[in-house]
Structure 1
Amino acid sequence: MSNFTYAFILSTLAGLSTLIGFIPLLFNLKNEKTIILSSLAFASGVMICVSLTDLIPESFNLLTSIFKGFPALLFLLIFITLGVIISMLVDKFLPNNDNKSISNKKLYRLGLVSMLAIIMHNIPEGVATFLSSSTNMSLGLSLALAISFHNIPEGISIAIPIYFSTKSRLKAFLYTLISGLSEPLGAILAYLFLSSIINNFIMSIILSIIAGIMIHISIYELLTESLSYKKRRLTFIFFSIGFIFMLISHFLLG
């Protein structure tokens, strides 16, 4: 098997692990409101943890390899802020589905913005997995396993809102699948275009912008909507579970 084939397969499998987040929808789910608020709070904790413990530190490390001291921090803050602004603009211009109730519209938008954020997050992950696997198969496998573990709760953050807003398992499956396929898309982009032009500065920009997008979505969209169900303690518990889940995954998978 060529290095390209191996790297592409790993990127694809890592991306498709997002579909594991769809599996709970194959069963009869009761207590709809509790499931929605807990899944939103859980996804919010996951996204905040990924941003604070993965994307931002990695971006800062890349920036400090180019700039020393304050300039690196300034660039980091600028691009995180840019990510927040991009997320706000996307949220503003996302179309509403007028055939849904107000609560279902909110859930549907949450599913959409989560999908968009995760697509943007998965593409550079696909790039990283492909480039790592094509040069070091062992490193690529470790990275793909770590990403697969992370992708499961991200799949939940798409599948649950889409399903409960549309009552369609097929739509929930397709939206989750689309987000997962962005990972092998990143691998293809890496192979065709990026392997020769990607550098630390460009990657740091991408990671910090994605961090800003995910922070905005997790706080302004997911956490706010979860709190609207007026079960603050349950929201806090599942937010904490999501955050701790990702911390443990970082620790176990390095």
Structure 2
Amino acid sequence: MINNNSLIPLILSLLAGLSTVIGAFILFFSKAENKKLITFALSYSAGVMITVSFTDLFISAEETLSKHNGNIKGVLYSLLFLLIGALMALLIDKFIPEAPKTNDNTNEKLYRVGFVSMIALMIHNFPEGIATFISGYENTSLGISIALAIALHNIPEGISIAMPIYYSTKSKFKAFKYTLYSGLAEPLGAFLAFLFLRPYINDIILSITFALVAGIMLYISFAELIPAARRYKYHSIYLFSIFLGIFTIILSHTYSH
């Protein structure tokens, strides 16, 4: 049955997923794509993810695995699973179909760009929901940190779906609907983790998961979020937001320990 340990991470994953819809609302209520806000969200999310990976996830994995296997093996196993997590994220990227790049702005092709973006981000969001649930199930403050980072980078993802759908169909409802579908993949992943993975959660499984998630989050930060944020050339916002994300997690430790 659902108890507080399960309910909180399920709610966190739902909120993180629904933040995708914020991207659609930003598009609807602004005359143009708010590039400064996108830069802030991407950079802040990268700062949060990198800091959480090194100060929470990897350290927790290394401590537990060292306790069971000795210091040297514990560190090596932690690094191995971190690398596997990064490779998993890389493979997900490779197998997701890319939206077609075209200068022909016909409605049909724009619509296809939005539809392919929705499918790609659903695949991307599903494992994030699993990671949010497993992390939050054991440690609520860690789950909140991960959900915050995911929520912030889901906002520009929502824009990337809503924009081509809206401009190709002239329908706010369709743009909202497709963005919502993408976001709901997050709580779906969390719910399936609750149904099938929860009975198997123990110290070793948690440690391996933490190291895997650290690798996934580091890959997302360095391969996707930071390059995307720098593309808009708001360098001051980019640097400020990354450090703000780092400071947020470090300061949160004073309240969670």
Normalising to structure 1: TM-score of the pair?
0.76
Distance in 2 between residues matched to 1:226 and 1:49, nearest whole Å: 17
Paired AA for residue 56 in structure 2: D
- Contact 1:17–1:148, Cα closer than 8 Å, also in 2: no
Matched, 1:161 2:163: no
RMSD: 3.2
Counterpart of 2:172?
Answer: none
Counterpart of 2:170?
Answer: none
From 208, 211, 229, the counterpart of 1:208: 211
Deviations 1:72-113 (CA, angstroms, capped at 9, x unpaired): 111111111111111111111111122459x98998799567
From 115, 121, 129, the counterpart of 1:119: 129
- Contact 2:85–2:211, Cα closer than 8 Å, also in 1: yes
From 145, 148, 159, the counterpart of 1:152: 148
Counterpart of 1:9?
Answer: 7
Structure 2 unmatched ranges of 5 or more: 101-108, 164-174
Correspondences of 1:92-241 after superposition (within 5 Å):
92-98=94-100, 99-100=109-110, 111=121, 115-116=125-126, 118-125=128-135, 128-129=137-138, 143-144=139-140, 147-148=143-144, 150-167=146-163, 168-191=175-198, 193-194=199-200, 198-241=201-244
Paired AA for residue 155 in structure 1: A
Paired AA for residue 84 in structure 2: L
- Contact 2:39–2:238, Cα closer than 8 Å, also in 1: yes
Paired AA for residue 175 in structure 1: S
Counterpart of 2:171?
Answer: none
Paired AA for residue 118 in structure 1: E
Distance in 1 between residues matched to 2:218 and 2:194, nearest whole Å: 25
Paired AA for residue 156 in structure 2: I
Counterpart of 1:86?
Answer: 88
- Contact 2:122–2:183, Cα closer than 8 Å, also in 1: no
Distance in 1 between residues matched to 2:40 and 2:120, nearest whole Å: 14
Distance in 2 between residues matched to 1:239 and 1:104, nearest whole Å: 28
Counterpart of 1:244?
Answer: 247
Distance in 2 between residues matched to 1:109 and 1:240, nearest whole Å: 32
Counterpart of 2:78?
Answer: 76
Distance in 2 between residues matched to 1:23 and 1:93, nearest whole Å: 25
Describe the shift of the 1:172–1:155 C-alpha distance in structure 2 as closer, same or farther (beyond 3 A): farther
Normalising to structure 2: TM-score of the pair?
0.75
Describe the shift of the 1:114–1:234 C-alpha distance in structure 2 as closer, same or farther (beyond 3 A): farther
- Contact 2:130–2:193, Cα closer than 8 Å, also in 1: no
Describe the shift of the 1:19–1:84 C-alpha distance in structure 2 as closer, same or farther (beyond 3 A): closer
Matched, 1:35 2:37: yes
Describe the shift of the 1:219–1:238 C-alpha distance in structure 2 as closer, same or farther (beyond 3 A): same
Describe the shift of the 1:23–1:84 C-alpha distance in structure 2 as closer, same or farther (beyond 3 A): closer
Paired AA for residue 156 in structure 1: L
Counterpart of 1:134?
Answer: none
Structure 1 unmatched ranges of 5 or more: 130-142
User: Number of residue pairs matched?
Assistant: 233
Distance in 1 between residues matched to 2:16 and 2:217, nearest whole Å: 17
214-223 or 243-252, which moves further after superposition?
A: 243-252
Describe the shift of the 1:165–1:92 C-alpha distance in structure 2 as closer, same or farther (beyond 3 A): same
Describe the shift of the 1:55–1:149 C-alpha distance in structure 2 as closer, same or farther (beyond 3 A): closer
